[in-house]
Amino acid sequence: MKYHKLVENAVKPDGFWGKLMIRSMNKGHSELTDWALSFLEVENGDHVLDVGCGGGRTVRKLCGLVGCGKAYGVDYSELCVKKSQKLNERDILCRKAKIQQASVSALPYDDNTFDKVIAVETYYFWPDKLNDLREVYRVLKPGGRLMLVFEMLYDPQNPDKWSSVEQRLGIKAVAEDEIHRILLEAGYENIKTYTHEGKSWLCAVGERENI
């Protein structure tokens, strides 16, 4: 019962079990995020957005990479936003970070705002994946890059591997070719995917057309 309560709060953390899930996500996604960030090439001066920032650990990692740039985070869970703001309080006070409540479907930013956007383990929950990818495309600068990060990669040799989590949360593990296709349909180009040998991790990067 306790495990089920914890897992169910992966969708939109709230209350006691939500706090435990946020703590678990911060710890559990750290290695995955470090691996993925090696492919994003965050540079000094970049403005980078974390979509579905959860407990804020990825925002903190980004603050250490952007130099004189700025790291932003959005999450549609009020609890996640509060926890993320607390974790990044110093960088927020220094105006190096900004975290607010928002949905990926309606990002509160102008067109052409970000050099990079990252989403770690949140794409599964996006309500309208194609249009949400287009919304991210809108806020990217020309030549900017989106990175999607997953630890639930579909395995045709073991198709039921994620069935318990899928059924409980109403989500689906992703396939590499599926992510490539939808990024292409949403307008991204120069799409690259990476997998981690020995783990079911997937990282996909797509670029906005540089015009």
* CATH code (residue 119): 3.40.50.150
Residue 8 token pair: 């169910």
Instruction: Report whether pLDDT(9) > 70.
Output: no
Whether 94 is in a domain gets the answer: yes
As a whole number, mean pLDDT of residues 128-137 equals 98
Instruction: Report whether pLDDT(15) > 60.
Output: no
Residue 66 carries which DSSP code?
S
Whether 12 is in a domain gets the answer: no
In whole angstroms, how far apart are CA 40 and each of 21, 27, 53, 57, 76?
26, 21, 17, 17, 24
Residue 161 carries which DSSP code?
T
Q: Largest alpha-carbon pair distance within the chain? A: 53
As a whole number, mean pLDDT of residues 1-16 equals 46
pLDDT digit string, tens, across residues 103-118: 999 999 999 999 999 9
Instruction: Report whether pLDDT(134) > 70.
Output: yes
Whether 21 is in a domain gets the answer: no
Q: What is the pLDDT of residue 28?
A: 55
Whether 13 is in a domain gets the answer: no
Parallel, antiparallel or unpaired: strands 70-75 and 114-120: unpaired
Q: Pick from 112, 122, 73, 119: which is nearest to 96 by CA? A: 73
pTM of the model: 0.87
pLDDT digit string, tens, across residues 146-189: 999 999 999 898 999 989 888 888 889 999 999 999 999 999 99
Residue 46 token pair: 């970049």
As a whole number, mean pLDDT of residues 90-105 equals 97
131: three-class secondary structure by DSSP? helix
CA 128 distance to own-chain centroid: 15
Number of independent structural domains in the chain: 1
Whether 198 is in a domain gets the answer: yes
Q: What is the pLDDT of residue 3?
A: 43
Residue 103 token pair: 């949905």
Q: Pick from 177, 201, 211: which is nearest to 191 by CA? A: 177
Whether 5 is in a domain gets the answer: no
pLDDT digit string, tens, across residues 30-57: 899 999 999 999 999 999 999 999 989 9
Query: What is the per-residue burial (b if ≥16 Cβ within 10 Å, else e) of 1-14?
Result: eeeeeebbbbbebe
- As beta bridge partners, residue 99 has 73
> What domain range is 57 assigned to?
29-207
Name the band, by pLDDT with cuts 50, 70 and 90, for residue 85: very high
Instruction: Report whether pLDDT(18) > 60.
Output: no
Whether 3 is in a domain gets the answer: no
Strands (E), 37-184: 47-51, 70-75, 97-101, 114-120, 140-150
Whether 9 is in a domain gets the answer: no
Residue 34 CA to residue 199 CA, distance in Å, equals 14
Identify the weakest region by mean pLDDT among 14-23, 29-38, 40-49, 65-74.
14-23
Q: What is the pLDDT of residue 30?
A: 87
